[in-house]
Amino acid sequence: MEQSPLIFGQTKSTEDVDFSHGVKSTIANVYGEDPANYNDAVAALNRYRQDATRGATTDATGRDLLQSYYGQLEMLELRFPELRVMFNWRDVFTAQEISQHSLAYEKASVLFNLATTYSVLGSSSNRTDPEGIKRAFYNTRVAAGLWDYIANNFLHAPSTDLSRDVVRFMSALMLAQAQEIFLEKTVEEKTRGGRGDGKAMGIVAKLASQCAFQYNALLEPVRETVNKGVFDRHWASVIHIKSKLFASQTQYFRAMVDNAGDKHGEAIARMKLAESLAKESYRLGSTFNTFFAPCDTLPADVSSVLASICKAHQSKCSEYKDELTKENDLIFHDIIPAENLLSAVDKLNAANAVTITEIYQNADVQRSIGPDLFANLVPFSVHEAASIYSEEKAKIIRAVTETVEIADTELEAAIEYLGLPGSLRKFVQAAGDLNYDLSGEVKDLARTLHAQEGNGGIARQISAIDAKRERIVADIKWISNELDIESKECEQARMQHPDFSQSPSARHTKEWRQQLKSHHDALEKAGHSDESIKQVYQYIDSDVRLLSDSATDLEDSDNELVSYVKDYVTHSSASSHNRQQSLLDLDVSAEQNAEHETRKMTAHAREITRLLDVLKTLKKSRSQHIQVLRQKIQNDDVSHLLILNRKAQHVESDMFGSELDKFKEDQKVIEGTIAEQLKRLEELNGVWLKLTSSTRAQEIHTKHAESDRRRKEVFKKLKKAGDTYFEAADGVSRATVFYDDLENAVRQLKSDVSAYVKARAKERVQAVIEAESAGEKRSMGSVGGTGASSASSAFESEFGRLNVSTPHRPPKPGVSPSPAAQLPSTPSGASYGYGSLPPPPPQPQPSIYQSMYGLQGQPGQPAQVPPPPPKPTSPYSGANYASPPPQSSPYAQYTQQPSSPYSTAPPPPPPQAQTQSPYAQHQHPPPPSAPYQQNYQQQPPPPPPNQNYPFFR
């Protein structure tokens, strides 16, 4: 069977174009970027155009080049809508060259050439091959779609070939030819091996009717355009011939249907009409064959092929008409209706245009376009739309995450409420096996106490505190005694010598005595706190030593701490068991049913274990799917789609909805795991109820509940011991700081008082000498010329008396008396001139303070009393301390006595009055407000080795 020739288009021609200036100026002015960064992209764009317009042919290669260039133009327009480049194209039908700056003109011209290329591919396909028929049918429909797209989207065409009437006609022509190709394929399939079944020819008749209708609709437009000199005049002849040919085929195939339906008269009438139309088509074909001249838009053999096809169809119609007429005359004798009484044949359209969207959704076409040359240039409006889409994605992930968290929380709460899987162990292990394991908290406490005690412990620190306290007490007593002796010596000298000039000691030592009193009071209050710490530590000493000594081998079943806990729990369980069981409670039937209940408990336990594994798997699967969903949402980017649909109005809502639908599959999987979890939890509750409802299970539960209670009780006791230990350790630490500061202050005070006493002793000797000299002068003035020997004897007697009568001063603790502290004595052999002129009055010697501070007295005048020594420097003085020391403890948070300088918990009541642990109650009064108390309180406790306990914080 010969192929019907098809009409195809002709491509437009153009001149070269350079995009450089227009693109680079837009990049600099609109996007604010360096145009030099896009030199390669601009050069690639120029190459795309040259390949598509200058060297392309109307074959598959040219098609791909045109499709690639048009794709780049679409992306270019989305980023450069106002691009101004001069494009020159020549009209196909008028050969007129038309130039415009519009990018739309360039796109329409490229699409026209692409549609022409598809029409040529459809016309040149080998339709004898099934694959060739498919390609011809598809290519013709694509050409129709492209011309229709030009007609609908590019208005006010500057050239004739792009005018709406022309491109609409081209689209309709391509659809008619596509219908013709489909009709050829259907006729070949239905008539293979003969004329074919008449009943099956109904669809062929409808296809032929549609084809005749489409060609007949093109007759008037093609005649008008031919008369205008647009289309080739042969197009009108081909369309006219095909309109008559397919009208004849319509009646021919319908007659076959009527004959098969016993409508012999109508079949003959239709065959007469088909023969008449066939003769007309053959006549037109013969005439066309005589005047046809080759052209660029028709195959070279179009006239001869059309004439041959029409002649063959005419012969076929004549033969079939004669056959039907003979059968009717001999057999059926049906009345043959008139031609105008025949019903019209229904039409069936089988060819629709392929839209440009469908073309560019093809994976092969996408690959031929290549990458976006200006992908880094994203318009601001696209950024805004992408942000809205990102928020929609965030809503999805937030909703899914919240749902998953709620499901996980419900699962954990349900399992925790049942105490699984720990509570299941008591039903499957041996009857006598109880839980004696140490908790992780107790193990950590034991290791911490072991480390603390290994570094000295509280006992050693308390001993060190006691030693410091004794030294401080001895120093305070020594200082007080020194001040008392010095004051006594001063006052004795004053009573013995009326002219004694040394000032009283009380004025100089007032501050020191106040400090001594404050130190003494602080020591007394601190002592109460020390006793409280010692008493509290005595009560927890055994528990602390148990925890500390057992820290090295906690995993050993023979460990002392493990044994202690086991004995504590076992004793309680045994006592409870003895209370609950008696000879009267024994039941023989219960013993007989014990084995049966044990088997049932084991089966229930296995089922619970299986359900727990299923729930764990569901949770893991849910977690994995939400991670996959997060990754998909994170990697999802619709910026390119937004750019491609930038020109569309209100496309975001529809596009966002379709894009977000791709995440629904993962959401459904997650929701499915949650529904399955609820179902499994119901099964778990039912099995657990069956497990715990038996008598045997209740007995086991009661026994283990009691042992667990005792185990928690002993752990609570040990933890309280640990809490009290660290509280006591904190008190001892602050007490150590307190005693260190106090010892330094007392040591400094002792040094200052020692220097003061020595200076006063030297000053007092000088004052006594001056007082005696003044007395002698007065005696000599009143008696007259008494001998000098009596005055000298009196002076020596008085000096010796003072030296002998000085009270005994005990030495410093642990220090031998200093020679410098002894008063100077006059040599026994000294003589001041007996029997001659009396010696001159002795010159007063400078006191120790005069020597130190340069205060030399005037001759003949009594020495001035030196000012008191500067106030001793004390750690309690300055910005952070007050003098005298405060009356409350710097670490008094563990005592009920606010006036104590520091304390720990009060002593516990006698053992017979205790109902709880001896260290279960602790009072924590508010901290003292004195500055130096705050200084002690600011001393941080030693850093804890473990952060699992509240007493470390």
Amino acid at 250: T
pLDDT of residue 645: 67
Tally helices (H) and strands (E) across the chain: 26, 3
DSSP code for 90: E
Instruction: At 875, list the tokens.
Output: 């750690």
Considering only CA atoms, which of 83, 197, 214 is closest in space to residue 144?
214
Question: What confidence tens digit (pLDDT) does each residue in 105-117 have?
Answer: 999 999 999 999 9
Question: What confidence tens digit (pLDDT) does each residue in 341-397 have?
Answer: 899 999 999 999 999 989 988 888 888 888 888 888 877 767 677 788 888 889 999
Pairing verdict, β 87-90 and 13-14? antiparallel
Q: Determine the Cα–Cα distance for residues 259 and 243; give it in Å rounded to an integer.
A: 25
pLDDT of residue 250: 95
Instruction: At 659, list the tokens.
Output: 């894009």
Minimum mean pLDDT among 63-67, 557-561, 724-728, 934-938: which range?
A: 934-938
pLDDT of residue 872: 40
Omega cis (within 30) before 421: yes
Q: Determine the Cα–Cα distance for residues 204 and 190; give it in Å rounded to an integer.
A: 8
- Does 572 or 880 have the greater pLDDT score? 572
SS3 (DSSP) at 99:
strand
Q: Which domains are assigned to the chain?
A: 1-189+351-377 (1.25.40.280), 191-201+209-346 (1.25.40.280), 380-430+438-578+608-677+704-773+839-953 (no CATH)
pLDDT of residue 371: 87
Question: What confidence tens digit (pLDDT) does each residue in 929-944 have?
Answer: 333 333 333 344 444 4
Instruction: At 860, list the tokens.
Output: 């003949």
- Triad 300, 304, 305: Cα angle to 5°: 85
Q: Find the largest Cα–Cα distance for the chain.
A: 206
Question: What confidence tens digit (pLDDT) does each residue in 77-94 have?
Answer: 888 888 889 999 999 999
pLDDT of residue 747: 92
SS3 (DSSP) at 160:
coil
Average pLDDT over residues 430-444: 68
The pTM for the full model equals: 0.52
pLDDT of residue 411: 93
